[in-house]
Structure 1
Amino acid sequence: MGAVDATRTDVLWLDWNESPLGPPPAAVRRVAAAARRLHEYPRHLLDEVTELAAARHGVAPSQVLLTSGVDEALDIAMTLVERGWAVEPGFDFHARVVAWGKPFLPIRLGPDWQPAGRDDIRATDAVFIAQPGNPTGNLIERDWIDEYRASAGIYFQDETYQEFCSAPSILGEELGPDVLVYRSFAKAWGLAGIRVGCLVGEAGLIARLEPLRRFMPIDAVSLSAAAGVLAEPDFVDALTAHVLRERPRLAALLRASGLFLDVRDTETNFVIARVERGRAAALVAALERLGVRVKPCDFFGLDDWIRVGVGTAEDHARLGEVLARLRPEFAPRAEAAAGPA
């Protein structure tokens, strides 16, 4: 599949879960102002964003460690453990565990997309969970989470999609000395173009991790954008409300298209749909030729599924027109529609 020029304005980008409402205006204003201070190290901004993030998440600043995205957060966590576990199919936690030269062990999802039990997780292991999941978009049952929080040396919960889901964050609870929660500014905050997130944990654990963070790991522009949206969070509420309103409409559109064997509404800012076996790549390529980008889920280990980000009502109308054009070629055969998932 050939690459699409990212500067093209006629492409409908529904593949990377970017904000359909554009960037937060407050973040844009702060970034513009930051351009006049690019000659300075962002010392003051690290403290400002830490304090704002702590206030947003209802914790003390001593419980927050800013990181340059989830990869740095995972790298820091891996320094504390000998092995890493994660759900598969799922987000690619595997890559960071292996990058550290440490064993990775998968926790398989069952047919209901809930993780299987494991009785060989050690106190020197980390368990990495995305809640809600990616690309499945569903929630892991709370009993399972409680069990593995208790058995792992480090329990790491990635809550990147928290604002879009129906379950409360575990940040409202006593976390304990071996729990880390990652919160992203990319999705509900409309800042996918910057690399800022934060780890939240007990103050003692964060104090152990802080020396492991790289010197000034987040640039002044990214910190300024995060400060802007944290100081004026109305945009987060508006974007969250938009996704919750448009997500079921997108799922209904995909079901009505006649191209998919199954469509799952999710707890995230995307919807996933299953195509006839072995045809996901061809459908993704056909959509791209018609100016619509969606993401195949085989990268995450979920074959025959595609992920479609929630857009605007106008985006969905255009998507519907393109899907209608592709229906003669990609509508599942009768025997596929009647077969097992």
Structure 2
Amino acid sequence: MRYKNSNIKKCLNTKTIARCAAFFLFCLLPLKGICQTGESTVDALVEMGFENVGWTEDDDERVYVLQNSAYRLQGVGIGKAVDVIQKTGLSEEKPCRIIVLDNNVPQISLYYHPLKGDSVPQAERKDWHVSYELGDAWESARKIKLKNSSLFKVDVLVYPQLAFKNLVITQIYQVLFDLSPAIEVSLWKGMKLTAQLKIPVYNDGYGKYEGKAHPGNLTLSQRFRLPYNVFGKATVGYFNADQYGFDVDFFRPFNDERFSLLARIGYTGTGYWDGFKLHYDPSTWVATWSLGGSFYWPQFNTQFTLKAEQYLMKEKGVRFEMVRHFR
């Protein structure tokens, strides 16, 4: 069984944010606008539910900082924020940059440069350039006081989980259906606590342990951004697949952002829950890893990934994935 990342929230890593932002910017209708100050725009974004919102400007450009917590899909959320900024938040002459955060860690920026000679800027979504580069103004933007901070806020999520297997000749499928409520708390910049409880609703063939309410993912994860646009996340705790330990993964886009490098290493042991009592075997620790690359084909909104990996049984293999993203 291959070890998987423990972050249970469907959200999104930096690649997904960038692809969704580009898609919604190019597909929806243009909006126009101009504003002398960004304060009213920040207030409007906070009222819509965006977190970690702020703005600043210097002689070169105006910068907005925000985190989408109002919309389930990142692309939709970023698109809504661009709508508001285009309508009320552009400077008369200066370029504008939007820096998108994930748990207070910067991910991507959207950059708009007005045409010289225009008396009134006319911003359309196709005019915004999406990039992993944050620009020189980030050093100033990172110091501003943000409104509607996400720190110490508790998100309550409930996931339905369905599992089935076909191992018994006399039975077509064995089925397990759980409801899995979870809380997520942002403790500081990049740090998130996740605590999940699995409540069995229907258990046919998955054993007595899965028939009891028991913890699911219990993790602490720290996101970070290193120089040269290297993104990483370190996670420690109890994961899925009856594994506990730690895991670190990295993502590095090239200058041609369609191409990227991927790397992950984990060191985990085996343990299972009997109700709320954890049984574990300290002799079962094993290293798992993967190393590879990715190519994104924007014309067809398709991601290709090729990785060499080592799995929980110390088997090595090559994994190829082709994922087509839809609206």
Q: Given the two structures, how large is their TM-score scaled by the length of structure 2?
A: 0.27
Instruction: State which structure, 1 or 2, has the greater radius of gyration over its C-alpha atoms.
Output: 2
Task: Point out the structure with the larger strand share.
Answer: 2
Higher relative CO (Cα under 8 Å, sequence separation at least 6) belongs to: 1
Task: Point out the structure with the larger helix share.
Answer: 1
Q: Given the two structures, how large is their TM-score scaled by the length of structure 1?
A: 0.27
